[in-house]
Amino acid sequence: MRSSRPRPRDGHHVEVAANIGGLKDADQVAELGGDGVGLLRSEFLFMERSAAPSEDEQFEEYKAIALAVGADRPVIIRTLDVGGDKPLAYLPIPRKTIRSSVNAAFASGSTGRKSSARSFALFSALPSSGSCASCFR
């Protein structure tokens, strides 16, 4: 177990960010000296189940991951990446349609008021070491 972040012999800081798939992986980031999460695969919540997770379930899972990694470490969450080699049984949409719909929603900025409020609530729920901006980059 590593108690400090990794540093090369010359002392220059090199950021080491983990690619993770859930809370089990998140628990190891700080423990092993990682600087944060470079990629949290959000599809882990959606795969291998018969129905989509509720917004509350998603919020609680992402919050638990952010807290496990640490408020002073960034967590970058990739938007849902499904289709093609990652089909969802409860979302029978052709691969091309899924990617087009997701891209269109983000391009138009239609993320929805409720989602924005939940994102703010997630940031507010984390212990702060100055500001929420320091929790995520």
In the block, residue with structure tokens 């070491």: 129
- What is the pTM (predicted TM-score) of this model? 0.62
Measured CA to CA, the distance from residue 134 to residue 71 in angstroms comes to 8
pLDDT digits (tens, 9 = 90+) for 44-87: 889 888 999 999 999 999 999 999 999 889 999 988 877 777 77
pLDDT digits (tens, 9 = 90+) for 73-128: 999 998 887 777 777 888 876 656 555 555 555 555 554 444 444 444 444 444 44
Are 69 and 31 spatial neighbours (Cβ–Cβ below 8 Å)?
Answer: no
Q: Which fold has domain 17-134?
A: TIM Barrel (3.20.20)
User: Whose CA is closest to 15, among 34, 29, 41, 30?
Assistant: 34
Are 30 and 70 spatial neighbours (Cβ–Cβ below 8 Å)?
Answer: yes
Judged on CB neighbours under 10 Å (0-12, 13-18, 19+), 122 is buried
